Structure 1
Amino acid sequence: MIDYTPLYAGLQHTPALRSWLPSLPNQVAAGLAPERWGDLPDWQAAFDSLPDIVPSSVSYDPVVRAGCAGDATSEQLRQLEQQLRALHPWRKGPWSLFDLHIDTEWRSDWKWDRVAPHLDDLDNRLVLDVGCGSGYHCWRLFGAGARRVLGIDPSAKFVAQFYALKKYLGMDKPVDVLPLGIEAIPPQLQAFDTTLSMGVLYHRRSPLDHLRELRETLRPGGQLLLETLVIDGGPGACLVPEGRYAKMRNVWFLPSTATLESWLRKCGFVNPRTVDLDKTRLEEQRSTDWMRFESLVDFLDPDDHSKTVEGHPAPLRATLVAEAP
């Protein structure tokens, strides 16, 4: 489905990542193995059927956008929409291809507005986005000056969505998404100037292991930006839902910000600090024509939106930054 040859060639000229190259192609092949993904032939067919349209312009702020309606015929636009809808659901965005607006479940541009002021200057930095989905923030990071952005996400559908978009945003751009989890990154790689982990930590059975893995991706002095669900409370406070949280099965630990800062110090990070705290709003996460499944309003107590349907505190998201020693 995806030709990673240009990425591998580019990494040959990226000394910090060159040591990963011998194992990376086999890891990618395993991540896209047909036996893992029964719908892979359908995603491949959608990708192969995308029309060839040359965009007159590309931009990344606040909507990641390629071209305008005048760049394509009406038949090309119809075909484009048909194939993109075959990759439903679209969760992170927004995107616009030739004025076709992909109204994703998440207004990821709102999250970008919260986290971007706390990122170190991205000019010429090597950046890793862990759990990147279809790569919206990867493009925003590139647009903000990063020299190369690597996203990783174990979902092959998100990877397919990313490359469907990259067909128009620029196949030659140094922005890529790999079908991998963080476990695939070599231990002690210490390569990236900036690593982001957003919306991942609470899905990890061992959050301290995840924080350690994140630290090992960073060069000395590199910056971590961590965004995750938290609860109100002081040092030591942590919610461990016995059943589901907001209808999600795979939510393991929701610490307070004080607890999370302590975890970061315990895992070797320097100067961890909470820089943003935000309650998720119904306008930020919702069902749309491009994501027709349940969303935030369905996960909350219908009579009291301060609680989930299970009675837990409603989603509260914190952004923290810290540095590798």
Structure 2
Amino acid sequence: MIDFQQLKNDLQHTPISHLGGFLIDAVSNKFANYTHGELAQWQQLLDSLPAVDASHIDLKDGVNIGSAADLSSQLSDNQVTQLIDQLKTLHPWRKGPFNLFGIDIDTEWRSDWKWDRLLPSISSLKNRTILDVGCGNGYHCWRMLGEGAKLVLGIDPSQKFLAQFSVMKKYLGQSPVHLLPLGIEDMPQDMENKGFDTVFSMGVLYHRKSPINHLMELKNLLGRKGELVLETLVIDGDENQVLLPKGRYAQMRNVWFIPSARALELWLAKCGFNNIRTVDINQTSLEEQRSTEWMHFHSLENYLDPENINKTIEGYSAPKRAIIVANK
């Protein structure tokens, strides 16, 4: 499922070439310690996917691979139906959307909307080495490649996300984009400024018991003068406002700290970041996060007060997300 040789080749001639052996060992140890899971099932599914050549690939305006004509010219109707069934086996599809040979994988999140909000306010990704922490199925990793990145590494411990990513990787070929089933705690603890040009952490901070430690971990993974792109839940308020939910927040169990954007800017400054700027604050809409044919579990509308969509079902302010950019 992971092409370690391609990973090593892509790392060559980058400032992070020294990570090759470390990352391979980390993934090997992670796989060795899995006592349960569905990796074998996902690998079997990937091996059974039909070979289809894509007539075109567009990663600039979305993740668009081939066309419906590619399927009709290369597969029978039964094979097309089987392919769609195989893709739906990987439900739930959270981040996206993807268009794979005309198959519209309409994911829970319109992750393209978030991308459109942040892209004008970050440094050009052209020829940069990028780390996407908590990348899910790697949707944004492909968009980073579409912006000209030299190498993109996504990390996320979910086996199913790895399988979803591997579907796209199969049809996109030898692209310098890799997803490893690791958490940030599995990454090197001392990069000595030999880190990534850009590090993304989107939708992760509020799941960490120690947000300051997370910010310091992100800083450690950046190269000298590297850029952090941080997206997370926020509340309204001044630099002293932080919400610590008593129980769940919007039905999420593991939400620890939700600061105001101004408080988060202060945290980043105390961690040694500079050029800190909040570039977007946006309340998540029912159009941006919702149930679909490809993710038919409960979604945002089930987590809000039915009498007031500006409140969560627990009575907190509805989810609002900020994008903050900072430099090491």
**TM-score when normalising by structure 2:** 0.95
State the distance in 1 between where 2:60 and 2:100 align.
Answer: 14
Asked whether the equivalents of residues 129 and 149 of structure 2 are also in contact (C-alpha less than 8 Å), the reply is yes
State the distance in 2 between where 1:290 and 1:30 align.
Answer: 32
Aligned to 2:44: 45
Secondary structure at 2:51 match in 1: coil
- Displacement of 1:122 in angstroms is 1.2
Indicate how the Cα distance of structure 1 residues 36 and 225 shifts in structure 2: closer, same or farther if over 3 A, else same. Answer: farther
- Displacement of 1:10 in angstroms is 2.2
Secondary structure at 2:197 match in 1: strand
State the distance in 1 between where 2:143 and 2:185 align.
Answer: 25
| 2:220 counterpart letter in structure 1 | E
- Displacement of 1:82 in angstroms is 1.6
Could you list the structure 1 runs, at least 4 aligned residues long, displaced by more than 6 angstroms after superposition: none
Which segments of 5 or more consecutive residues in structure 1 lack a partner in the other structure? none
| 1:107 counterpart letter in structure 2 | R
State the distance in 1 between where 2:78 and 2:249 align.
Answer: 44
| 1:30 counterpart letter in structure 2 | N
Secondary structure at 1:106 match in 2: coil
- Displacement of 1:36 in angstroms is 4.3
Aligned to 2:5: 5
Aligned to 1:184: 186
Aligned to 2:132: 129
Asked whether the equivalents of residues 46 and 87 of structure 1 are also in contact (C-alpha less than 8 Å), the reply is no
State the distance in 1 between where 2:16 and 2:127 align.
Answer: 15
Count of aligned pairs between the two proteins: 322
1:106 partnered with 2:109: yes
Which stretch has the larger CA shift, 266-275 or 58-67?
58-67
Secondary structure at 2:233 match in 1: strand
- Displacement of 1:26 in angstroms is 2.2
Which segments of 5 or more consecutive residues in structure 2 lack a partner in the other structure? none
1:25-47 CA distance string (max 9 Å, x none): 22112333473442222212211
Aligned to 1:30: 29
Aligned to 2:176: 174
| 1:260 counterpart letter in structure 2 | L
State the distance in 2 between where 1:34 and 1:274 align.
Answer: 40
Asked whether the equivalents of residues 203 and 231 of structure 2 are also in contact (C-alpha less than 8 Å), the reply is yes
State the distance in 2 between where 1:140 and 1:284 align.
Answer: 18
Which stretch has the larger CA shift, 200-209 or 186-195?
186-195
State the distance in 2 between where 1:220 and 1:35 align.
Answer: 35
| 1:62 counterpart letter in structure 2 | D
1:236-289 CA distance string (max 9 Å, x none): 110001100010000000000111000001111012111100000000000001
- Displacement of 1:145 in angstroms is 1.1
**TM-score when normalising by structure 1:** 0.96
- Displacement of 1:2 in angstroms is 2.8
Asked whether the equivalents of residues 62 and 143 of structure 2 are also in contact (C-alpha less than 8 Å), the reply is no
State the distance in 1 between where 2:28 and 2:163 align.
Answer: 14
State the distance in 2 between where 1:30 and 1:100 align.
Answer: 36
1:204-252 CA distance string (max 9 Å, x none): 0000000001111111111111000000000111000110001000000
Aligned to 2:219: 215
Asked whether the equivalents of residues 131 and 198 of structure 2 are also in contact (C-alpha less than 8 Å), the reply is yes
1:164 partnered with 2:164: no
- Displacement of 1:119 in angstroms is 1.2
| 1:314 counterpart letter in structure 2 | A
Asked whether the equivalents of residues 235 and 258 of structure 2 are also in contact (C-alpha less than 8 Å), the reply is yes
Secondary structure at 1:21 match in 2: helix
Asked whether the equivalents of residues 7 and 20 of structure 2 are also in contact (C-alpha less than 8 Å), the reply is no
- Displacement of 1:179 in angstroms is 0.6
State the distance in 1 between where 2:87 and 2:2 align.
Answer: 16
| 2:223 counterpart letter in structure 1 | R
User: Where do 1:1-325 residues align within 5 Å?
Assistant: 1-14=1-14, 16-33=15-32, 35-72=34-71, 73=75, 74-170=77-173, 172-189=174-191, 190=193, 191-324=195-328
Secondary structure at 2:322 match in 1: strand
| 2:97 counterpart letter in structure 1 | P
1:169-198 CA distance string (max 9 Å, x none): 22x110111111111221232311111111
Q: Pairwise CA RMSD of aligned residues?
A: 1.3
Secondary structure at 1:32 match in 2: helix
Secondary structure at 2:282 match in 1: strand
Asked whether the equivalents of residues 269 and 322 of structure 1 are also in contact (C-alpha less than 8 Å), the reply is yes
| 2:110 counterpart letter in structure 1 | R
| 1:234 counterpart letter in structure 2 | D
State the distance in 1 between where 2:50 and 2:227 align.
Answer: 39
Which stretch has the larger CA shift, 24-33 or 189-198?
24-33
1:64-85 CA distance string (max 9 Å, x none): 0111112122233222212111
